[in-house]
Amino acid sequence: MNFDEYQSEAKKTAIYPQSAKITYPIIGLAGEVGELCNKYKKTIRDGRVLDKEEIAGEIGDIAWYLAMVCEDFGVSFDEVARKNIEKLKDRQSRGAIKGSGDNR
Comparing CA positions, the residue from 78, 76, 63 lying closest to residue 10 is: 63
Residue 58 CA to residue 63 CA, distance in Å, equals: 9
Q: What is the pLDDT of residue 99?
A: 73
What is the amino acid identity at position 69?
V
Residue 15 CA to residue 17 CA, distance in Å, equals: 7
Per-position pLDDT tens, the chain of length 104: 999 999 999 999 999 999 999 999 999 999 999 999 999 999 999 998 888 999 999 999 999 999 999 999 999 999 999 999 999 999 999 888 877 777 66
Residue 9 CA to residue 78 CA, distance in Å, equals: 14
Residue 62 CA to residue 21 CA, distance in Å, equals: 17
pTM of the model: 0.89
Segment 41-70, tens digit of pLDDT:
999 999 988 889 999 999 999 999 999 999
Buried b (16+ CB within 10 A) or exposed e, 43-64: eeeeeeeeeeeeeeebeebbbb
Fold of 3-8+18-93: Helix Hairpins (1.10.287)
